[in-house]
Structure 1
Amino acid sequence: MNNVLDIFKEITTIPRCSGNHEPFINYMKNFASKNEYLCLVDKFNNILCKKENSKANLCLQNHYDIVCLSDNCVPKIVEEENFLKAENSTLGADNGIGCSYMLSLMTQGYDCEFLFTSDEEIGLIGANNLEHKLNAQYMLNIDSEAEGEICIGCAGGVDFFAKNSSKQIIENNENYQLYEVTVSNLPGGHSGVDIHLNVPNGIKLIAQTIKENNGLILDINGGERINSIPVNVKAIVAFKNEPKIIPNENICINKIDSKTEHLNVWSSDICDFIYTFANGVRAFDKDLNVVLNSINLAKIKTNIDDIEIELSGRSMSNSYLELLKKETILLLESFGFEVKTDGKYPAWKPDVNEFTNMILDIYKKHNPNASLEAIHAGLECAIFKDKFPHMKIASIGPNIFNPHSTREKVEIKSILNIGKIVKDIVDTF
């Protein structure tokens, strides 16, 4: 597995933002042919590579798309103090590293099923719509992000898409002044695995500034991806008095030197909803040391006829996920929003079995402190467990920090450590 780093650097040059499939598919067709594998692509851009007369008992699986905070981003890798980072963008270690392990194994000719799924980062689209048939009895997903942890369960999730079209034109009889309010350069992070770290939410911060200064919203836009904690938000707001900035160095308020006799303002319900919304962790299990339920207000956008809000909810329990869905829909509707949901995926109930115990035994030869864990984020494992009930599944991965943000980095030493473990697992099967 000594070529994993080189492979990762190579595929990082291939455009892999969610929704962009063709460049990586073409790469995989050439790669598979060179290494004597079949390369099968279904209608949802999932790629399955296997030997022509495969008798594989193990499937290795990862998604090949990455979160891009700007369109058509191709990360530029920087190596710094035993870490790989990227210049002013996400790195794509989530999940380029997992793909690189699989590609390395293909160069060694292993008889496994190698499944590369599409568009995981925008709703697990590839996994949900998989058309390939898998014959393997076991699946190793390499999309986890903490060395020493073997994931055997994960949260389910649901995305909310809400619209409020209530606005009116009012006469500016009270001498309102226009201001640009900006929240920028917040830390950001993954709205699942980072939700308990008290990372500030840009949309919540800007709503607090507007509400506590009795402002009226004319325009508001912010947030990067539905599965990220929002970093940048900007609004045009009318204030009757000079606004006071809440204590936060990431907030900036600038007066706009123009006056208007009329103001086209959005309903105060929009700001009231954001201001009062209980964003973040809703329940935490101290015994398991895992978030049970959470919800993140991820994006906001002003259109000609409405303001759109996107949220992402997660739960370790399918029943609580359904309750969170119903509660959030009712709450949004009470503030005048029309609501749709999408991107729902099931929770993966923790399952200890002969496969997970075997993975644990192999792992402990390299790391005596290894343990079986569950994670508060969506893994495709939950969908595959639902599609292939007979399959035994586990997920591992190297240390990846701050995914879905410009601070994303992966530890080089950890990549190499996990490479040895992956190879030992594959050799066992």
Structure 2
Amino acid sequence: MSLVQEIFKEITAIPRCSGTHNEFIDYVKNYAKKYNYEYFVDNVNNILCKKKDSKSKICLQSHYDIVCLIDNTIPEIIEQDGYYMAKNSTLGADNGIGCSYMLALMAQDKDLEYLFTSDEEIGLIGANDIKLDITSEFMLNLDSEEEGEICIGCAGGVDIIAKHSSHNLVPNTNNLKLYEISITKLRGGHSGVNIHENIPNALKLIAKSIKEYNGKLLDFNGGERINSIPANAKAIIATSTPPLITHENMTIEEVKEIPQHFNLYSDEIIDFIYNFENGVREFNDELGVVETSINLAIVKTQINEIVLKLSARSMDNNKLNEIKTKTCEDLKKHNFEVESKGKYPAWKPDKNEFTQTVYEIYKKHNPKAEFRAIHAGLECAIFKEKFPHLKVASIGPNIYNPHSYNEKVSINSIENLYKIVNEIVL
């Protein structure tokens, strides 16, 4: 087994769900000491390692947090048919493989800057608030997910949070019955790179059953993370017409104990979800990638309100603002209180001497290598704004279905990419 694979298995055993930092920071500190690197940690838990009096020209960058569909998960790695995957969880190859490349190069005593960023998966927090200085001329981001692609541009994004507090305690004068509608273990996936694949959205499916069978909403919870296509959801409704199963992963159970009064939420909530155009809004033929999309990611019933969370993306900053504005206006028409946050810019495709060098080296190993832009948020866009001197490219191994239970990474691809990274940093 190669050093990169050994390191990947080692760090996978370290808690790294977004928002969890201390164990990995301690690991990197000890690792840096072992190989004679200085280390710096800022107030948002980014880690920078470099040699004393470094003459580094390239900064390698990966985020160390992973998407956990269940809080506090530590993935259990399974090897099968040439892939690493995890038992009943996400794997964390996104971006654990990138971190493993960096740690392996540190063990080889390479004079580079090594930037491990925090909380990328919950709003690129580390990159947005970084307080560390990058002096290298070039940055190689290791967070791409398809071998053969050299990413030189990515979508920008913004999160939209909407709250609806209209509910009433009403008597059950019409003898309505209660039903629990559940949908579980849909495919899920990344709401950027997988959004064009028409993956079923658990929230939309449940809203369809509620709307088309005249259900009144009492409770609705579903979705896993704001950057994931929701795979699981559950709602409780009151209705005189028993709802029907509309998907093979759906179950409907009648609630036996019927209260004399119901705490019903406004029909506006289901109306919005039912009519909401989820998924791809525009395709960019020139780049061969989705231009603009939006995903309804989370619905959560709190004490006195229901909260919706959506994630919008676009390869164009003006179009990103347009879809944010239109969605917020539509939500307000349905009497939601709305705010947006977590915005990050699009990375306009940029070819330069560094990307050309990466391309030429990559071509020697893979004749099919090509420049691409992706419909997902990479921290590169933020670093380009914060460090204008940087020239940036992003590469990575074949990682399939990130942010889902089906996430897996090709073992051969891990090794192929590591050879290329090694030659780039010579």
Shorter-normalised TM range: over 0.9
Aligned letter for 1:353? N
Deviations along 1:202-252, one digit per CA (max 9) or x if unpaired, are: 000000000000000101101000000001100111111222222x10111
- In structure 2, the residue matched to 1:184 is 184
2:404 alignment partner, SS class: coil
- In structure 1, the residue matched to 2:21 is 21
Question: C-alpha distance in 1, partners of 2:104/2:409?
Answer: 18
Runs of 4+ in 1 over 6 A off after TM superposition: none
Matches within 5 A, 1:126-145: 126-145=126-145
Question: C-alpha distance in 2, partners of 1:218/1:58?
Answer: 55
Matches within 5 A, 1:331-342: 331-342=330-341
2:228 alignment partner, SS class: coil
1:225 alignment partner, SS class: coil
1:139 alignment partner, SS class: strand
User: Normalised by the size of structure 2, how large is the TM-score?
Assistant: 0.99
Higher mean C-alpha deviation, range 169-178 or range 373-382: 169-178
Aligned letter for 2:26? N
Aligned letter for 1:139? M
- In structure 2, the residue matched to 1:408 is 407
- In structure 2, the residue matched to 1:297 is 296
- In structure 2, the residue matched to 1:398 is 397
Shift of 1:170: 1.7
Question: C-alpha distance in 2, partners of 1:243/1:290?
Answer: 38
Question: C-alpha distance in 2, partners of 1:153/1:323?
Answer: 20
Question: C-alpha distance in 2, partners of 1:25/1:245?
Answer: 47
Question: C-alpha distance in 2, partners of 1:315/1:252?
Answer: 35
Ranges in structure 1 where 5+ consecutive residues have no aligned partner = none
Question: C-alpha distance in 2, partners of 1:2/1:83?
Answer: 14
Question: C-alpha distance in 2, partners of 1:291/1:243?
Answer: 35
Question: C-alpha distance in 1, partners of 2:397/2:175?
Answer: 57
Q: Are residues 1:284 and 2:273 paired?
A: no
Deviations along 1:111-137, one digit per CA (max 9) or x if unpaired, are: 000000000000000000010011000
1:326 alignment partner, SS class: helix
Q: CA RMSD in A?
A: 0.8
What percentage of residue pairs aligned between the two structures are identical?
60
1:151 alignment partner, SS class: strand
Shift of 1:198: 0.4
Shift of 1:368: 0.5
Shift of 1:33: 0.1
Q: Are residues 1:155 and 2:155 paired?
A: yes
- In structure 2, the residue matched to 1:354 is 353
Question: C-alpha distance in 1, partners of 2:128/2:189?
Answer: 24
- In structure 1, the residue matched to 2:52 is 52
Q: Are residues 1:244 and 2:244 paired?
A: yes
Question: C-alpha distance in 2, partners of 1:182/1:396?
Answer: 39
Q: How many residues align?
A: 426
Shift of 1:289: 1.6
- In structure 1, the residue matched to 2:216 is 216
Deviations along 1:267-322, one digit per CA (max 9) or x if unpaired, are: 00000000000000000123322000000000011011100000000000001011
- In structure 1, the residue matched to 2:306 is 307
1:20 alignment partner, SS class: coil
Q: Are residues 1:172 and 2:172 paired?
A: yes
Aligned letter for 2:310? L
Aligned letter for 1:169? L
Question: C-alpha distance in 2, partners of 1:259/1:189?
Answer: 37
Aligned letter for 1:208? K
Deviations along 1:139-167, one digit per CA (max 9) or x if unpaired, are: 00000000000000000000011100001
2:349 alignment partner, SS class: coil
Aligned letter for 1:16? R
Shift of 1:259: 2.1
Q: Are residues 1:96 and 2:110 paired?
A: no
Ranges in structure 2 where 5+ consecutive residues have no aligned partner = none
1:48 alignment partner, SS class: strand
Matches within 5 A, 1:3-22: 3-22=3-22
User: Normalised by the size of structure 1, how large is the TM-score?
Assistant: 0.98
Question: C-alpha distance in 1, partners of 2:237/2:252?
Answer: 10
Question: C-alpha distance in 1, partners of 2:20/2:261?
Answer: 44
Question: C-alpha distance in 2, partners of 1:261/1:44?
Answer: 50
